[in-house]
Structure 1
Amino acid sequence: MKRAARLNAILDLLAASGEVTVEDLVERFGASQATTRRDLDSLAEQRLLTRTHGGAVAQAVAYELPIRYKSHLRTQQKKAIAQAAAELVLPGMVVGLSGGTTTTAIAAALAARDDLAEGGGITVVTNAVNIAAQLATRPDIKVVVTGGVIHSRSYELVGPFVEQLLRGVRLDIAFIGVNGMDAASGASTQDEREAAVNRMMAERARQAVVVTDSSKLGITAFASVGEAELFPVVLTDADADAATLAALREAGYEVRTA
């Protein structure tokens, strides 16, 4: 297992159980004790966990891995989703992008399109500062960044300033990244502030699309974003479980796989 995936898995275990031991991690992941201790020390230095004798315990903020680690996970699936999402965008459109690794991949796919300039370009409205920086050098993409307070783990701007700007715009299509997508409970995120922004961005769009890799299907995170009335389309990857896709379709979602 690569280091980024191992760090992600360690924090997932902490979120589920509240504590881990070096011995348990060695048995689970097959890394040496020295490597495992270095992993825990690295996460502790970033204040993502608290080291203990023989292991670690969760910090209050350790429910979600920072985006710089998550960007290395399931990259091929996210690229496939991003390409399919980018194909839905036509020149002249106003596109909403929430934060997240999948939407960051969509931004990269849009930046790679040469045909947008011929049609007058597009406008991207985003609350993710990393996405704004990624697109800022493209003259055919007008970038509108919401105000707000930056979330250090996801690079998303949250709070009332974001909502104030979104109330004044209309989007043709919005791509919303999530931490969970479940047939019964709908789209959800780990942070209630991000959920509020994502919900408003979706409400301001003619079409709102949940973009998520298949590992998040069937998962319910802390804060609800919306159900099929708000998100008629779910775009995921081809590794998705057939029964999970069938349940989403039964719940009223149009599910597309890339």
Structure 2
Amino acid sequence: MTAYGHLKAVFMKVARHIIEARREAIAKLLSKVGYVPVLEICKQFNVSEATARRDLTELESQRRITRTHGGALSDFNRNFPPLDDRKVEDAEAKRKIGNLAASRVKPGMTVYLDSGSTIFFAAEAIASAGVADLQIVTTCLPTAQLISCLPGVEVYIPGGLFLTRHAMVAGDRTLEEVARWNFDVALLGAEGIDENGLWNSQRDISHQQREVIRRSDEVLICMNKVKLGRGGPCAVTRDVSALFLVTDAAAADVAKAKVKMAADHVLTA
């Protein structure tokens, strides 16, 4: 081997080491925060967009991430319990919360229904009550199918990547389409609420919920009491004072969890 060839081989070995280290760092970042746009990856790792996309393609081929338009979802999609399993957990409490939240939905409203088991129970209650003349926007396909049976109800499902275990769509395209709407009332689920705000377990979904909150006249956070005082990896909003919490906990229990919300914004099922 010539001296040039030796230097070239060493350079290629070092370059591969750097590439693998960067990809490992990207995978760890995605595992931690759930979602990172391609342009953010470019900024954090000082690489071109083409390089970032090659890294993501390789990580996807290793089944370490799931790609979305403009970013990536971690294996969160694969590991999250299926919707049918979540509907069984604390079903009685979730059904009561869903029934109370559904009572806030009136004919003629434009309504956002989040994904999640408690919101699915709310959708069942809306369907059972026969609330008519609604525009429903939902990212949850089972909810869309359930609620579409109502007379005079229009159901809209934003585009995006279908997350099988969530039974929902998500991603940049979903966020863009949700941002075109204004809602009379939004029913949202979450992973927890505490003194520092409202939390979810995945950044992409948190961004989506934040946009829904911004575009809604009334926001109902539907959550059973086991999630009180619980934080999470991704903040939806730090200020929950304008939101309503629909829960099976009493207002005193919410206050004990140091949630910064007035007692009249706590609706106990």
Q: Do both proteins adopt the same fold according to a TM-score greater than 0.5, normalized to the shorter chain?
A: yes
Q: What is the Cα-based RMSD across aligned positions, in Å?
A: 2.3
Matched, 1:236 2:252: no
Matched, 1:222 2:238: no
Matched, 1:246 2:259: no
Matches within 5 A, 1:38-187: 61=76, 64-114=80-130, 116-117=131-132, 121-182=133-194, 184-187=195-198
Amino acid at match of 2:232: A
Runs of at least 5 residues in structure 2 that lack an aligned partner in the other structure: 1-73
Residue 228 of structure 1 and its aligned partner are, at CA, apart by 3.4
Provide closer, same or farther for how the CA distance between residues 252 and 243 of structure 1 changes in structure 2, counting only shifts above 3 A: closer
Matches within 5 A, 1:200-215: 200-215=211-226
Secondary structure of the structure 1 residue equivalent to 2:129: coil
Provide closer, same or farther for how the CA distance between residues 216 and 174 of structure 1 changes in structure 2, counting only shifts above 3 A: same
Amino acid at match of 2:189: G
Is the CA contact 1:176–1:202 (under 8 Å) kept in the aligned structure 2? no
Provide closer, same or farther for how the CA distance between residues 156 and 60 of structure 1 changes in structure 2, counting only shifts above 3 A: closer
Is the CA contact 1:94–1:122 (under 8 Å) kept in the aligned structure 2? yes
Distance 1:190 1:221 in 2: 6
Equivalent residue for 1:194, pick from 194, 201, 205: 205
Distance 1:112 1:244 in 2: 31
Runs of at least 5 residues in structure 1 that lack an aligned partner in the other structure: 1-58
Q: Which runs of 4+ in 1 moved over 3 A?
A: 59-64, 227-231, 241-244, 247-250
| Max Rg structure | 2
Q: After alignment, is 147-156 or 205-214 more displaced?
A: 147-156
Residue 142 of structure 1 and its aligned partner are, at CA, apart by 1.2
Amino acid at match of 1:185: N
Secondary structure of the structure 2 residue equivalent to 1:246: helix
Amino acid at match of 1:246: A
> Matched residues, percent identical?
24
Greater helix fraction, Structure 1 or Structure 2: 2
Distance 2:75 2:175 in 1: 26
Provide closer, same or farther for how the CA distance between residues 211 and 130 of structure 1 changes in structure 2, counting only shifts above 3 A: same
CA deviation vs aligned residue, 1:184-228 (integer Å, no higher than 9, x gap): 122111111111111111211111111111111111121111133
Distance 2:238 2:245 in 1: 11
Aligned to 1:34: none
Residue 60 of structure 1 and its aligned partner are, at CA, apart by 5.7
Is the CA contact 2:199–2:235 (under 8 Å) kept in the aligned structure 1? yes
